[in-house]
Structure 1
Amino acid sequence: MSKITISRDSGYADRVRKYKVICNGEEVAQVGNGETIEFETPPGEKEVYLKIDWCRSNKVTVSVPPGSEVKLNGGSSLRGGKVLLAVFYVLFMPSKYLWLQTN
């Protein structure tokens, strides 16, 4: 079995809430503020993203080789002064509220 590891950065926005980890359309885990989680998955191509309420991150497609690990990093796009734009992100850019990238 292969696995995917996701590390969430620590930030002010959503500090006390967990993000859902969606892999190929199904919730497979939740990741808290500053937390790292891992989950097992069959090898192959996977589409992964983070979600909170009706907002989400960009979708990342990764190829998971047999018996290996893929590492991803994610978090909130609301940093510094952008925290004041939270309503704008929620209403007009819900797919950019969170971010996810390969490590």
Structure 2
Amino acid sequence: MRNFGFYQDDKKIGTIANGKTIEYQLEPGKHRLSSKIDWCGSRTIEFDIKENETKTIELSGLKYGTLILPLLLTILLIYVFAKTQLNTNLRFLRVFGIILFFYPLYFLTFGKKNICE
């Protein structure tokens, strides 16, 4: 929904949207690339580039991020339905729900520098 900031040698050189491709011309030499959105970001990639050399870097967001919310909501709905309509207690759904809740929470706290791959 929002764009990632793209940084070369700690200077913002542009933004990139999810699923898009961009090209940048870099001077020969050592460079560091990273991306950032809010307080979360990627690891810094360091590399050398020679004259007339092409490098391709792929940036992706939170792995499985588009699956987590729908899966979490489905588990919640099944759990609520089973609890209220079937009068059963599906404890294993609680475990899956807790895991799915804490997976993205990790990347918003301790793993905030590893949200992009």
Provide the rounded CA distance (Å) in 1 between the counterparts of 2:24 and 2:14.
7
Name the one with the larger strand percent. Answer: 1
Provide the rounded CA distance (Å) in 2 between the counterparts of 1:50 and 1:83.
25
How many residue pairs match? The answer is 84
The structure having more radius of gyration, on CA atoms, is 2
1:33 aligns with 2:18: yes
Provide the rounded CA distance (Å) in 2 between the counterparts of 1:51 and 1:44.
23
1:96 aligns with 2:96: no
Provide the rounded CA distance (Å) in 2 between the counterparts of 1:34 and 1:88.
24
1:34-49 alignment, distance < 5 Å = 34-49=19-34
1:67 aligns with 2:52: yes
Listed as ranges, the gaps of 5+ residues in structure 2 are: 69-98
Higher RCO, 1 vs 2 (CA within 8 Å, ≥6 residues apart): 1
Listed as ranges, the gaps of 5+ residues in structure 1 are: 1-15
- TM-score w.r.t. the length of structure 1 is 0.72
Provide the rounded CA distance (Å) in 2 between the counterparts of 1:88 and 1:62.
28
Q: CA RMSD in A?
A: 1.8
Name the one with the larger helix percent. Answer: 2
